[in-house]
Amino acid sequence: MMLRHLTSIKIRKKMKAVSSIIDTGALVRNMRQIRKMAPNSKLLAVVKANAYGHGLYPVAAALKDDADAFAVSRIEEALSLRTQGITKPIVLLEGFFNADDVDLVSRYDLYTAVHDLYQVRAIEQAKIQKPVHCWVQVDIGMHRLGSGSIEEITEIKRRLEASENTIKPLGLISHLSVADTPSEREYNSIQQDNFFYFAEKLKFSGDLSLGNSAGICKWPRSHTTWVRPGIIMYGISPFDDKCGGDLGLEPVMTLKASLIAVHHLKKGDKVGYGAGYVASSDTILGVLSAGYGDGYPRTAPNGTPVYLNGRYVPTAGHVCMDMMFVDLGPDSRDQIGDSAVLWGKEVPVETVASRCGTIPYELVCHIMPRVNIEYVAN
């Protein structure tokens, strides 16, 4: 069968394959909105996983006047921030992995979660110049990190308080695992009860940190000394039934691709790997310069919305590594070089995630290194 192409001899627009445009102005406005949600708490801005795909240092730098501290998962992330000039407190949410990391925690003035006796022993035995800030991590029902045993938490607290290598008073930290799950309202209340039981029973007089993004939005009781805005900081909802805009937030990331080819299709023409799309009528097919090699999900089904030239067009066929298809419709006047929004203000990332059967956290965290990152302050 002869392939039908729409070709153009016009001078084409200058194109970029895929761009992730990060609006630091929206980031700052979101942080100020979050402060209104939890006015009596300090804000521990979560910038782990490359700031959820938004850029570790640029996000921290943009928030230097609006965040009270920063939280990361890995010590390498903390050291990167310190060596680039971030001076505010930095918390290691997973603690440290190796005993010799305690020296780095001390030298770079980091805060560390402590979730087991190995970490306690490492702190006790460390030869360090300055004592370290410790937040005891308690398991209140997620069963991820920390102990749920009153005896073990008592032992951890006793030994850390007895050590010359720790700054007193100790903090207490935990995580709400179902604050975003309406069907688990009772279990969420139980988790909060458990946290405050440990805090009161063991007389923790230092800082407390419980509320995550969903807790900030919905559970005022979790607004302790510190709350930890994560996904909401980036303008994305932690709830399945809402988008960030419903919470008064703005999307920080806009993912864009370019239209690089167009083809005439006849009814019945098959598109892409595995013939994943069959034209139901004569139409015009567009090829966009983004694929799963850039972080756009291969699981996106036919009909996932893309915003192009003031309207929504549906994806068509399987997403390729470097490209994807959209059905432009029979009346398309789109030109090669036109820019398409894959997610952002016009197409909430929550919508794309829902179509793909995943969560928006995964999508923004999967932006690949070859994607062009642009920072703007609108």
DSSP state of 148: -
Token representation of residue 74: 């890995």
> Tokens 């029902």 — which residue?
141
Catalytic residue at 273? yes
Distance, in Å, from the CA atom of 90 to the CA atom of 72, rounded to the nearest integer, reads 7
Out of 13, 42, 48, 277, the active site residue is 48
The residue annotated as part of the active site, out of 203, 242, 273, 307, is: 273
Q: Tell me whether residue 48 is one of the annotated catalytic residues.
A: yes
Structure tokens at 64: 């230097």
- Residue 24 Cα distances to 16, 39, 322, 364, angstroms: 21, 22, 28, 16
Longest dimension (CA), the chain: 81
Residue 8: CB atoms within 10 Å = 11
8 A C-beta contact, residue 266 and residue 282: yes
Helix axes 150-162, 185-201, angle to 10 degrees: 40
Give the position of tokens 């929206």: 26
CB atoms within 10 A of CB 196: 17
75 Cβ neighbours under 8 A, 6+ residues apart: 92, 96, 97, 101, 104, 105, 110
* Catalytically annotated residues: 48, 273
